[in-house]
Amino acid sequence: MLDTAGPMIDSNDPAPVLSIGAVSKKFDSLTVLENCSLDVAEGEIVTLLGPSGCGKTTLLRCIAGFWDADSGGIRIDGRDMGAVPVNRRPVGVVFQSYALFPHMTVVQNVGYALRMLRMPRSAVAERVSTALETVSLTGLEDRYPSQLSGGQQQRVAIARVLVMEPRVLLLDEPFNALDAKLRGSMQVELRQLIKKLGLTSIFVTHDQEEALTMSDRIAVMRAGRIEQAAPPEEIFDRPATAYVADFIGMSNFFSGEAQAGAVLLPDGQSQSTELQGPVKVMIRPHNIRLVDAQDQDWRGTIAFHRPVGPLIEYHVDVAGDQIKVLSMRQQQSQIYADGACVGLQVIDPASCSIYPGAH
């Protein structure tokens, strides 16, 4: 495996606000987190992305202090959080189910953290109303959580942590309880809000669309490990491992043999590599072009096609394997029907990713 879990910060960058150093955690014999390291810079939004059960919530809970890591440490502004109890950490958590206090009105919920600080009433009222304005919830001050819609509840949960001006904001799948349409608009809204306030945030999701929308950087997790932490484009274009490539976006995998610093692609072109021996080649569907079958070594028949927005997605049957191809739709003449015999060509060999792998 490639080691890409390390910090992505250049030496001349300012010190990270949040620094997760080699955190491991076990439940009995089950390893849930393994050597997770991640640095988050001031004002950055990092998404933890991974399938269900890969340890995203666990990592978040270690940062918030609900659970202690077995080894490794969490630092915020350089200060080790090991001995700092939950209620003294400068961390705000927006829970998956919001966890609003059902017996308190919106104002009481939002003012909770300030009351715990024994701030004078007038100051509490002032900061609460500012926070409610920020998340556009004015007018709902005296409602109880059960009288709010899902979207409104989410905004109360956000306002409730904003008032305490946390150094790090943690959001655990905050859109899960919302319907698909509302989700889309809330994602953009929330990202803009966090950016405006300049909050350093970690955002958890298992939805890659959401990750691509929300993040400055995505950390892809797999079974307790961080496989790659990089900006969305880089994750998509240069996935560090086959797992990441498979997890993000559509992909086609081929087995190949690396010899003398190069790998032969299925269409006959070659791509250079430092690897030796058996490899896996990943080609994105939009990096393949359909051409006439004549004079092509790499060819097959169209098994299925469908329009996807401005694109057409083809599944091409090549010797029993289905290869996915995405083409632009403008060239009307070039739409191939199901059953048509076509040839395939890699558009840009340099954009193919090559991973070590067995046949």
Partner 1 sequence: MANVSVPAGGAGWGERLVDALLSGRGVWPAVPSIVVLMVMAVIPFAILLSLGFSDIEVARGAIISQTFSLTHLTTALTDPLYWITFQRSLNLALTTTFFCLVFGYPVAYLFLVGGRWTKRIILILTIAPLLTSGIVRTYAWLVILGGRGVVNSTLLSIDLIDQPLRIMNTHWAVLIGMVQIHLPVMILPLIAVMSRHDTRLVEAAENLGASQLATLRTIIFPLSVPGIGTGAALVFTLSYTTFVVPQLLGGGNYLNAATMVYEQVVFSLDWSKGSVSSLILMVTCLIVLVIIALITNRLTRWTRGRDA
- In the β-sheet with 217-222, what is the strand arrangement from edge to edge? 91-94, 168-172, 200-205, 45-49, 217-222, 225-230
> Contact letters (x/-) for partner 1, 103-142, by CB under 8 A?
xx-------xx--xx------------------------x
Is 206 or 217 the residue whose CB approaches ligand ATP more closely? Answer: 206
Spacing of C-alpha 97 from chain mean position: 19
| Min CB(53)–ligand ATP separation in Å | 4
Shortest CB 204 distance to ligand ATP, Å: 7
d(CA 46, CA 87): 23
Contact residue for ligand ATP among 5, 36, 54, 64 (CB under 6 A)? 54
CA distance 261 to 318: 27
62 in Cβ contact with 69 (< 8 Å): yes
**What would the DSSP string read from start to end of 293-358?**
STT-SSEEEEEEEEEETTEEEEEEEETTEEEEEEEES--GGGPPPTT-EEEEEES-GGG-EEEE--
Residue 35 is encoded by which pair of tokens?
A: 């050597």
Q: How far is the CB of 201 from partner 1 (least distance, A)?
A: 15
Under rule CB under 5 A, residue 57 binds Mg ion: yes
How many residues touch partner 1 under the rule CB under 8 A: the total is 29
By CB under 8 A, tell whether 143 contacts partner 1. Answer: yes
Which residue, 50 or 300, has its beta carbon nearer to ligand ATP?
50
Of all residues in the shown chain, the one whose CB is closest to Mg ion is 57
Please tell me the distance from the alpha carbon of residue 180 to that of residue 189, in angstroms, as a whole number.
15
SS3 state at 205: strand
Distance in Å, CB of 173 to ligand ATP, minimum: 7
325 binds, among ligand ATP, Mg ion, partner 1, none (CB under 5 to 8 A by kind): none
Min CB(86)–partner 1 separation in Å: 4
In the complex, least distance from residue 204 CB atom to Mg ion, rounded to whole angstroms: 6
Tokens of 358: 């067995």
Residue 66 binding ligand ATP, by CB under 6 A:
no
Query: DSSP state, 146?
Result: G
Residues that bind ligand ATP (CB under 6 A): 27, 30, 32, 50, 52-58, 206
Residues that bind partner 1 (CB under 8 A): 64, 66, 86-89, 91-93, 95, 97, 99-104, 112-113, 116-117, 142-144, 146-147, 160-161, 164
Residues that bind Mg ion (CB under 5 A): 57
